[in-house]
Structure 1
Amino acid sequence: MGVRRSYLSKVEVMHLLGVTVFGMWRLARKYEKFPQPDKQPSSPFNRDNQEPEEVWDATAVYSWAAETAELAHRGAVLRRPVPVSRAAGHWLGYRDTPLGPALDWRTDIGVIRVVHSGDVETASDVASAIAASGNQEGVVTVCALYGDMGLGGPALVAADTAHPAIEYEAGWDKVTAYTGQVMPWWPDALRLPSLIREWKPGAQPSTVETPANDNEKILRQAAANTSFEVTSRAAATDMANGIRNNRSDNTSHEIEIFCKEGYGKTPNQVIPGAVPDVSHHPLPCGEDRKALRAGWLGIAPHTHPDAVAALEVAVGRHPELLPFGAVTEIPVQQGAISDRWTHRLTMCDPTAAHAVLAQEAKVEAFFVDPLTDMPVLRSSGSGNKKVWRFYAPLSLPANGAELASVVLHHTVWATTSDGYVHPAPCTPAEHLWWGDGWGDRPTEAAAVVDQLLADLGATVNLRQHWDAPKGLTALFNEEHHEGTELSRATLLHARMTPPRTR
C-alpha cells in the first residue's frame, strides 16, 4: 500500500490554508519549505492544453501546514504537534466498514478510526463515506495499514474526514499518544473480522489456527477425492501442508517485525491481536521427492476438475515436481523442422495437463506426443495465427541412439541417429534460445546440448547452466538464422574448442 496521490489547484490550496492570493504569496516567501507547485499530470484527455495548470501535491501542503505553527490547525490531524496535556482516550469498540474491520477510539481531538486493511486508498475511501453520511459518530481521522514498519510501530496511512481525498503517512506512536493505550495489530493471515470483533483492551492475543488460503483449500479438496490414486492424494496433501507451514512461519515472522518492543527507552505501543497456533507445526511435507513426483504424474492425465485446479497450484508453486518442462510456443509453419515432430502427434481428449497448458488460449485441438507423453495443443495466437503450444520434455527416449544434430527454429530441436525429431528437453524455469543476448549468454541451450551429447536419454539439469562449455556457449551466442542445423560433429568440435579471445 502507499499514500494516495492527489493535487490541489491554487484556489484549493488557498481554501485549505484559509488565505487570500496575497496570503499565499506571503507564505511562499516567509517559509523556505513551503511546497513548490508542479505541473498538472499529463492526461490523454488533456492533449489540447498547451500550458498545464500549476498544481500542488495535496499531501505535501497538508503535512507542511500541520508542522507549521501558524497553520497547524488547518493541517493534517495526525501530523500536528501532540498537546502535552491531554486526557487518555477511550476505546469505543468494533466497527464494520465496507473496506475492512475497524476499531474506534474517542480522544481529545475526536474519534480516531483504525481500519485493519492494507488495501490501496482504504483510508480515503472510508473517510469519504463517513463525511458523506454526515459523520454522526464524530470521526476526525481514519487510519489504515501502510504495510510497512514505522519507528513507533506499524506505519499507517491517514485521511481526515475534513479533507478525505488527501492521504498522508501517520505514526502509530502519534495515534497511541492520543488513545493513551496500547493498540492491537493483526498479521495478514489472521486479519479476520471475527477475531478483531472479539478484541478488548487488556486481552491476551488469541491463539488460532492459521486459516487455509484458496490454494490450500484446492489441494485439500483434491486430497479428499477418492477418484485419485493414493500417491496422488498424498502429493496434494504434502503441498497443502507446505503452504500451511509457510503461512504459519510468515505469520510468526510478521508478528516479530511489527510487534517489536521498540527502540531505545520508548517501547512500541503495539501488541498482536492474535498469534498462530503452532502446537502441530510444522506439518510433514517434502520428505520423499520421488513419491511426490509419482503422485503428480498420476494427477496430470486426469480429467476431473479437482485435478485441473490442483495442477494449476502445483505449476505455480513446485513445477519441479511435475513431469513437464518449460512451456514452449512455436508457429504452425509448413516445411519447418517442427513438421517432422507434429506429424507423429496423436489427437486426444484434453486432460488436466492440457487444461493448465491452455490457459486462455483458443484451442483447436489437443494432442499428446506418443514418445515423450508431453501434452500439446494447437490454438489461434495473436492475429489468429495458428501456434503449437507444448511442454518441453525433461528427457528424451534414447533406446541406444545418440544426438545427431540440433536445429534452431523458435526453440532448439534435437534430431537423433534413429531418425526422430524432438523438442529439446528443458527444465520448467528456463528457456532455450540463441543469439546475442545483449550481455547475457545462451548457456541454457549450451548446457542441454552438452548433456545430450554425452547421453541422449539424460534428464537435463540446468541448476548450473552458466558452467556449460564455453565453446558451445560461444556457438549458440552467434546469430544463427531460423532453421539452421548444427551437426553432431560441429557441436562436438565446439564443445572441445575454447572460444577465441578478441
Structure 2
Amino acid sequence: MGVSSSYLSSVEVQQMLGINTFGLWRLERKYDDFPQPIEPYDPLRHTKEADAVWDATEVYRWAADTPEFAHRGAVLLRPRPEDLADGDWAGYTHTVRGPALDWHTVLGTVRIVYSDDRKAAAEVATDVAATGNPDGVITVCALYGDVGFTGPALIASDTAHPGIEYEAEWGDVAALAGQALPWWPDLLRLPRLIRTWQPGAPPAVAEVPPNSNEQILRRAARNEAFDAVSRAAATDMANHIRNDRINRAEHENEVFGTERFGAQPHPVVIAAEPDTTEHPLPCHGDRQAVRAGWHKLAVSNHPDAVAALEVAIGHDPELLPFGAVTEVPVQPGTVTERWARRLAPCDPTAAHAVLAHGDPVDAFFVDPLTDMPALRTVAVNGRPLWRFYAPLSLPAGSAELTTIVLQHTVWITTSDGQVHPAPCTQTEHLWWGDSRHDRPSEAATVADALLDDLGATASLHEHWKAPRGLIALFTEEHEQGAELTRSRLLLARMSPPPRTR
C-alpha cells in the first residue's frame, strides 16, 4: 500500500488555500518551495493534457508546513498545539473498510481504520463526509503496512479533503490521544477483537483463523477417499501453514510493539496475541513419505485432490513429482512431434486438472517413460498447444545424451532413439539466448549433468556455476530447431574461462 495519487486544478488549489488567481500567481513567486505544476498524461490518448495540475498531496503537505497556510494544510502535519490536552477514547465503529477506533482530540475526532488496503483512508473519509460526519471526524488514518519512526506507519485522509492522502506519524496521533494506541497483528485484526478492546485491557489471546489454503488441506486430510499416506501429506502442509501464520503474528507484535528508532519506545499497546497452546504443530516429517503422499494425490481424480494440489504448487512445489509447466506449439515435423507420438491417452488426474488451469482441453495424455501428465489445448492465438510438466529426471539405463534440440524449450535425444523434454525443477524453466529475462546458465547446468549421467537430477540452485563454455554456448541466439551435438557440448564444456588481465 502507499499514498494514492490525486491532482488539483488551479481553481482547486485556490479553493484549498483560500486565494484567488492573482494569489496563486503571487504564491508561485513568493515561495521557492511551492510545488511545481505538472502536465498530466492521458494513457488512453497517449498525450499530455492541456491544463497543468498540481499533485494534491504535495500541495497539502506544503501548506501544513508553511505558517501562512498551515491552518489549511494536512491536519496531522500542522504544528502541534502547545500544552496539548490529552484526548479520550471514543469507542469502536465499523466503516466501509472494516473496524476502526475513534479518539476525541483537541483537533477533533481522529478515526483509525485497522486496514492496510489501498485507498482505505480516502474511502472512509469520503464516506464520512458524504454522510454528514455526525461524529465530528477531522481525519481518518489507515495502516500503511510497514513500520515508521514512531510506530506503525499511517496513511491519513482529512474529511475536509477526503480525496487526498498523505503519510502520517503514529506518534503524532498517540500524542493527540494522550496515550499509546492499540495494535493488532494482521491475522488478528478481527472486528470482534477490536470491538471489545478498551484502554488498559490486557492483550486478548485469540486463535489465528485458518486461511483458505489451510482449510482446503484440512478437508483433504479428513477425506477417507485418500489413504493414510496422502492424508498425512496434506496434514503436514496444513500444519506448516498454521505454524507460519502464528509465527507471523508473533513477529508482527514484536516488530511493531518493540522496534524503535532512537531512545523512546513506540507508543504501541499490543491488543491481541495468537493462541500458542498447541504451537508448533508437527510438520516437516519424513520428506520422502510426504512426497509419496503428494504423488498419490497427484494421480487421484477426486476434487479435493485437485484443490490440495493447487495449494501445494504455490506453497511447496518441491514436494510434487513433476517439474516446471512447459508449453510448446503443436508443430508437425519437429522434435516435439517425435515426443508427442509416444504419449498415451488417459483419463484426467488431479495433476491434469491443475495443468489445465481452467482452459479448454482437447485431450489428456501421459508420457509412459516419465509418467509426466500432458494435455493439448489452444493458445491465445487460436493455434493448438502442448502443455506438460517437465520431468524431474529422465529414465536411467545404458543410453546417453546424443543431442540437445532447441525447439521452444530444451529437448534431449538419446542413443536408444528416445526424445524427452529436458528435466527441470518446479520453479525454473530452460531457455537459451542473450536475454535479460532468461538465464541460459540453467540449461547449461542441465546439459552438464546429463552429459555424465542421463538419469541425473540436476540441481539449479547454483546454476551460475555451470561450465563457462556451456553457458556461452546456450547464450548464443540459436534458431528454433537448432541441434547441439554431444561432441559440440563436450567441447564447449572443456573450453577454459576467458583470461583476465
Residue among 372, 375, 381 paired with 1:374: 372
Structure 1 residue 173: Cα displacement: 1.3
Partner of residue 344, structure 2: 346
> Where does 1:297-308 land on structure 2 (aligned, <5 Å)?
297-308=295-306
In the other structure, the counterpart of 1:464 is 462
Write out aligned runs for 1:316-395 (5 A).
316-395=314-393
Q: What is the aligned partner in structure 1 of residue 15 from structure 2? A: 15
- The one-letter code of the counterpart of 1:221 is R
Partners of 2:467 and 2:97 lie apart in 1 by: 56
Q: Could you say if the C-alpha distance between residues 170 and 317 of structure 1 is closer, same or farther in structure 2, counting changes exceeding 3 Å? A: same
Specify every segment of 5 or more residues in structure 2 that has no aligned partner in the other structure, as ranges: none
- Alpha-carbon deviation of 1:282? 2.0
Aligned to 1:175: 173
Q: 1:33 to 1:295 in 2, by over 3 A?
A: same
The CA deviation string for residues 197-232 of structure 1, in whole angstroms up to 9 with x for no partner, is 111100111122222111111111111111112111
- Tell me, in whole angstroms, the C-alpha distance in 1 between the residues paired with 2:159 and 2:309: 47
Provide the rounded CA distance (Å) in 2 between the counterparts of 1:463 and 1:140: 54
Pairwise mapping of residues 271-282 of structure 1 onto structure 2 (< 5 A)?
Answer: 271-282=269-280
The 8 Å contact of residues 410 and 422 in structure 2, kept in 1 or not, is answered as yes
1:398 alignment partner in structure 2 = 396
Task: Work out whether 1:203 is the aligned partner of 2:205.
Answer: no
What residue is the counterpart of 1:224 in the other structure? 222
How far is the alpha carbon of 1:499 from its aligned partner?
Answer: 6.3
Quote the residue 1:42 is aligned against. Answer: 42
Q: Secondary structure at the match of 1:367?
A: strand
SS in 2 for 1:203: coil
Q: 1:496 to 1:71 in 2, by over 3 A?
A: closer
Please say if 1:479 is aligned against 2:501: no
Matched, 1:119 2:117: yes
1:9-54 deviations in Å (ceiling 9; x for gaps):
111111111112232233333333222222233342585x7x6212
Q: Larger deviation: 135-144 or 447-456?
A: 447-456
Matched with 1:285 is 283
8 Å Cα contact 1:434/1:445 also seen in 2: yes
Is 1:241 paired with 2:258?
A: no
State the distance in 1 between where 2:11 and 2:398 align. 83
Quote how far apart the aligned CAs of 1:244 are: 1.5
Q: What amino acid does structure 1 have at the position aligned with 2:335?
A: I
Shift in alpha-carbon separation, 1:351–1:171, aligned structure 2, 3 A = same
Deviation (angstroms), 1:119:
0.6
Cα gap change, 1:3 to 1:500, in 2 (>3 Å): closer
Task: Work out the CA distance in 2 between the residues paired with 1:439 and 1:306.
Answer: 36
CA contact (8 A) 1:124 1:164 kept: yes
The Cα of 1:278 is off from its aligned counterpart by: 2.5
Whether 1:31 and 2:31 are equivalent positions in the alignment is yes
Q: TM-score, normalised by structure 2?
A: 0.95
2:275 corresponds to which letter in structure 1?
A: D
The SS at the match of 2:80 is coil
- Residues 127-276 of structure 1 correspond to what in structure 2 (within 5 A)? 127-260=125-258, 262-276=260-274
Residues 80-110 of structure 1, C-alpha deviations (whole Å, 9 max, x = no match): 1111123321111111112110001112221
Equivalent position SS for 2:293: helix
Inter-partner Cα distance in structure 2 for 1:492 and 1:180: 74
Q: Is the 8 A contact 2:155 2:166 kept in 1?
A: yes
Q: What is the total number of aligned residue pairs between the two structures?
A: 500
CA drift of 1:66 comes to 1.7
Kept in 2: contact 1:474–1:499 (CA 8 A): no
CA distance in structure 1 between the partners assigned to 2:477 and 2:34 by the alignment? 57
Q: d(CA) in 1 for partners of 2:63 and 2:410? A: 63
CA distance in 2, matches of 1:418, 1:25: 83
Deviation of the 1:307 alpha carbon = 0.7
Q: C-alpha displacement at 1:137, in angstroms?
A: 1.4
Equivalent residue number for residue 423 of structure 1: 421
- For the 8 Å contact 1:327–1:390, the answer to whether it is kept is yes
- CA drift of 1:57 comes to 1.3
Q: Which SS does the other structure have where 2:216 is aligned?
A: helix
TM-score if structure 1 supplies the norm length?
0.95
CA distance in 2, matches of 1:239, 1:408: 37
CA distance in 2, matches of 1:411, 1:42: 40
Q: Classify 1:45/1:459 alpha carbon distance in 2 versus 1 (closer, same or farther; 3 Å).
A: closer
Residue identity opposite 1:33 in structure 2 = D
> Which digits, 9 at most, give the CA deviation of each residue in 1:374-415, with x for residues without a partner?
000001102101110100111111233222322221122222
Q: Say which is worse superposed, 9-18 or 250-259, in terms of deviation.
A: 250-259
Separation in 2, partners of 1:31, 1:479: 57
1:355 shift after superposition = 1.1
C-alpha distance in structure 2 between counterparts of 1:286 and 1:197, whole Å: 38
Q: Do the aligned residues in 2 keep the contact of 1:361 with 1:381 (CA within 8 Å)? A: no
Cα offset for 1:346? Answer: 1.1
Are the equivalent residues in 2 in contact too, given 1:208–1:274 (CA < 8 A)?
A: yes
Distance 2:475 2:46 in 1: 47
Q: Is the 8 A contact 1:82 1:177 kept in 2?
A: no
1:85 aligns with 2:79: no
Q: 1:78 to 1:343 in 2, by over 3 A?
A: same
**Structure 1 alignment gaps of length 5 or more:** none
Distance 1:243 1:55, change over 3 A: same
Stretch of structure 1 that moved more, 263-272 or 90-99: 263-272
Structure 1 residue 319 displacement after superposition: 1.0
Q: Is the 8 A contact 1:216 1:240 kept in 2?
A: yes
SS at match of 2:326: strand
